[in-house]
Amino acid sequence: MNPCASTSALLKVDSVVRRFGGLTAVNQVSFEVRQGEIVGLIGPNGAGKTTLFNIISGHLSANEGRVEFDGRDMTNRRPPLWAKAGVGRTFQIVKPLKSLSVLENAMVGALLKNNKAVARERAAAIVERVGMGALMHQPAGSLTLESRKRLELARALSVEPKLLLLDEILAGLNASEVEESIHLIRSLAEVDGLAVIMIEHNLHAVMSLAQRVVVLDYGVKIAEDLPEVVVRHPKVVAAYLGSDDE
C-alpha cells in the first residue's frame, strides 16, 4: 500500500535491483516521494537501505530498474549530476574536511552552482540555518559528534537540494540532541519544502517525523504504509524480532 503515491512525485524508484556477485542487495524495490514529504526507510542491518541510497545518489549503479527525479530519468547518473539536479545526502560515517572551518566545509557543495562569493554567502546562511552560527569559523576537526552531524547536514543542504537523503543522521546523539534534530528536520520539510528520506534505527524519530515508512528486509520491500500501521505489520515484526516459524 502507498497512501501518499502521486503522479507528481518528485522521486520515483521503479523496480530497482542491485547485485553484488551472487548477492541481491536490493531486489525489485519501488516507491515514490513527493515534495515536502518525509519518508522513513527502515529495516534490519544488511537490509539494503544504504545500497538503495547509493543508487539514488549515483554512488552505485542499478543492475535493473529505473530512478526518475524531478521528471528526469536519472538512472545510473554520476553523483555530481544528482547533486546538480537537487539531491543532497549525508553519510553514516561523517568525514568533514578537518583542517577547514565549518563555513569552508559548507562552501564545498555551494561551489557546485555558484561562484566563490555567492557560495560563501549561501554557506553562511546554511550554517546559521542548522544552528551552527557560533561555530562558523571553528575548524571542523575540533567539533563534537553532534556538531559534526549538523555540519554533515549543512554540507548536504549546500547543494540547494529538493530532496535530502539522511543516512542515520541521529545515530550517537543523546535524547535532547535527537529532539533538536527532529525539530530541525521537520522544519526543513514544512518550512523549506524539502522532501526527505531518512534511514534511521531510532523508531521514535521515525514515528515522530515520517508521513510514510518503507521497510526493507534482505533487499525486498516488505511493507509501505503510515508509521503506526507499519510497526504492527506481521512481516515487519518478524524482520525485527524474529518469527516463531523460523
Cβ neighbours of residue 202 closer than 8 Å, sequence gap 6 or more: 170, 171, 178
The answer, yes or no, to whether residue 204 has pLDDT greater than 60, is yes
Alpha-carbon torsion angle 206, 212, 214, 215, nearest 10: 50
pLDDT of 5 reads: 41
CA distances in angstroms from 143 to 3, 98, 107, 136, listed in the order given: 41, 9, 17, 11
d(CA 39, CA 214): 7
Distance between alpha carbon 50 and the CA centroid of its chain, in Å? 9
Superfamily of domain 1-86+161-173+188-246: P-loop containing nucleotide triphosphate hydrolases (3.40.50.300)
So where are the chain's domains? 1-86+161-173+188-246, 91-160
The answer, yes or no, to whether residue 203 has pLDDT greater than 90, is no
pLDDT of 158 reads: 95
pLDDT of 1 reads: 38
The answer, yes or no, to whether residue 149 has pLDDT greater than 70, is yes
Q: Which residue shows C-alpha cell 517525523?
A: 209
Q: Which residue shows C-alpha cell 539531491?
A: 87
Give the predicted TM-score (pTM) of the model. 0.90
pLDDT of 238 reads: 84
Helix/strand/coil (H, E, C) string of the chain?
CCCCCCCCCCEEEEEEEEEECCEEEEEEEEEEECCCCEEEEECCCCCCHHHHHHHHCCCCCCCEEEEEECCEECCCCCHHHHHHHCEEECCCCCCCCCCCEHHHHHHHHHCCCCCHHHHHHHHHHHHHHCCCHHHCCCEHHHCCHHHHHHHHHHHHHCCCCCEEEEECCCCCCCHHHHHHHHHHHHHHHHCCCCEEEEECCCHHHHHHHCCEEEEEECCEEEEEECHHHHCCCHHHHHHHHCCCCC
Which of 9-23, 120-134, 199-213 has the weakest average pLDDT?
199-213
